[in-house]
Each structure stands twice: as structure tokens, then as C-alpha cells.
Amino acid sequence: MKSSISRRNFIQSSALAAVCAAGGALPAVAEAVQVSGKPLPIRLGLCSYSFRNFTRTQMLGYLKELHMTELNVKDIKDHLPMDPAAQAQALADYKAAGVNLHAAGAIYFPKDDEADIRGKFEYAKRAGIKVIVAGDPTPESLKWIERFVKEYDIKIAIHNHGPEDKFFPSPFDVLKAIKNLDPRIGFCIDVGHAVRANANLVEAVHATGSRLYDVHVKDLTSFKSRDSQVAVGEGILPFKDLFQALIDIKYPGFVDLEYEINGENPMPGVIESLAYMRGMLAGMGYMTHS
């Protein structure tokens, strides 16, 4: 994967555009991107699924280019295998690279199977990961998930998957299912899937509140089409409003880019997406680097 423009120029130009989108005055744009008096209230991360066609070694090289150290890792390719020995080697590689694994997933819980569900909690425990992003758990599996969040003290963030999701199209469907369960069972709001399920993102953030444990971001040009995904900033999702809602609830988790298109050459879109989000936050008056 090669780009015809430098990473620094790409990020600067994307950040300037994002500052303008956030309402910044053009003469102050350069200064806003460079410095700000307020610490960054939102932590940006990356889903390893964005690099699903690349090995762990290749992905670590791209993370270094991106200056990203926070990863939501998935058992895909060799990113974090379920096999304990292979997992141990992966964990050693991440540690050597200075990459922190803040979440694992999406991990699927498709059946009412105690041993299968325990094995996935053991997988997270071995990795020292405290948040499992759960994809499409069945209602029957929730009794075991609740038992194991108590036993392992590992949070479950149920990921909404849009209109195609049989059980959890939107965060509000998750809310109905878990409102009386242990508070360590919470939410991963996937913003692209949520809007396709007619969820208002600001309302969803406030409704999930202290049980919001992860956010997956992508952008769309149409709220009716999952195939309309584009780099963040090229679509119509209300990122300024989303970020402000997360700031308002003092969200402590990560906003993880999940770039699902251009699988053979994701780096340009990943760079553009991260630059836009950093630029948006800069335009809102926050420092985006130390």
C-alpha cells in the first residue's frame, strides 16, 4: 500500500477541512490545529478489523505510521488468535510495539453454550483485556454472559448491527434487553449501523450513559444503505454532535475507527478518517496531541 502524498500533508489538509466543518474561522485554522488550551476529552482508537487482510506484523507497521497505540483487536488473520500459545506470541508482539489492547471484538456469542462463552472470557482474561465487544449475542446467551461478567469482572459491550441484526439493530434494542442485568453488561454503539436503524446518535449516547463501553465509527453517504460507507468526513454522520454528546456524558472509553471498505488498500481512508476526527476535535477547541 503506497500513497502519492505525504502522510503529514494529508493529515494537515484533512484536519483543516474538519476544523472548518466544526465552525472554525479560516484565519485561525492553522493555529487551532497546532495548539489548544483544553486537553483532549475523547480517546481515539482503531479496530484491527480495518486491517483484516493484513498480518499482525503488517498492521503494527501501519499503526506506527499512524502514531496509534490503542487497538480494539479481533481474532482475524493472526491479530489475536484464540489458541493460547499463538495468543501469547501476539501479546508479546503488541507489548514490544507499545500497543495497548483496550478491547477485543467483535466476539460472537451465537449459542446458549456455557463452555463456549467461558472460553471467550478466558481469552480476554489471558490478554488482560477488560472490555469484550459482543456481536449478536442471542437472548439465551445473556444468562451466561451475566454470570461471567461477575466472575471475571470483564465488561461486555453489545454491538448493534443495524437493520440486518435479528436481535440488536440499534442501541435502544440493546437497552431493552439489558436494563435489568448487571451494569457490566453495556453497549458498543456502532454509529453507522445505528443510524441505519433510525437511531438518533445523541439520544443513544445519553441513553446508554455510564454503560457505554466502546464506540465504533464509520461514515455513510446514505442512512439507508450499508454499502454507502466512505472515509469519515466524506459522509453525512453528525460527528460534531456525536463528539459533544460523548463529552457531555464524560465518556471514558475509546472511539474506535472501524474502516470496513477498501480492504486491500485501507491506509488512505484510515489516515483521512483519523485526520478528520482529530481536526474536528481541534476545531472544537481541544488539543489533539501532546
pLDDT tens-digit series, residues 126-142: 999 999 999 989 999 99
pLDDT digits (tens, 9 = 90+) for 241-270: 999 999 999 999 999 999 999 999 999 999
State pTM to two decimals.
0.88
Question: Is residue 32 over pLDDT 70?
Answer: no
What ranges do the domains of the chain cover? 40-267
Residue 40: pLDDT band with limits 50, 70, 90: confident
CA distance 259 to 218: 6
Question: Is residue 10 over pLDDT 70?
Answer: no
> Cβ neighbours of residue 4 under 8 Å, at least 6 residues apart?
none
Residue 37: pLDDT band with limits 50, 70, 90: low
Q: What is the DSSP string of 245-285?
A: HHHHTT--SEEEE---S-TTS-HHHHHHHHHHHHHHHHHTT
Could you tell me the sign of the dihedral formed by the alpha carbons of 108, 109, 113, 116, in that order?
positive
* Mean pLDDT of the 73-93 span: 97
Q: Mean pLDDT of all residues in the chain?
A: 89
Omega before residue 106 within 30° of 0, cis: yes
Q: What percent of the chain has a predicted confidence (pLDDT) above 70?
A: 86
CA distance 8 to 46: 19
**Residue 5: predicted pLDDT:** 37
Show the CA angle centred on residue 50, arms to residues 47 and 52, nearest 5°.
110
pLDDT digits (tens, 9 = 90+) for 183-202: 999 999 999 999 999 999 99
* Mean pLDDT of the 32-42 span: 64
| Whole-Å CA distances, 229 to 83, 144, 175, 242, 279 | 33, 35, 26, 18, 20
258-284: b or e for each residue (b if 16 or more CB lie within 10 Å)?
Answer: bbbebeeebbbbbbbbbbbbbbbbbbb
- Fold for domain 40-267? TIM Barrel (3.20.20)
Question: Is residue 143 over pLDDT 50?
Answer: yes
pLDDT digits (tens, 9 = 90+) for 209-231: 999 999 999 999 999 999 999 99
Question: Is residue 13 over pLDDT 80?
Answer: no
- Give the residue, 9 or 269, on which the prediction is more confident: 269
Question: Is residue 72 over pLDDT 90?
Answer: yes
**Residue 288: predicted pLDDT:** 63
Question: Is residue 93 over pLDDT 90?
Answer: yes
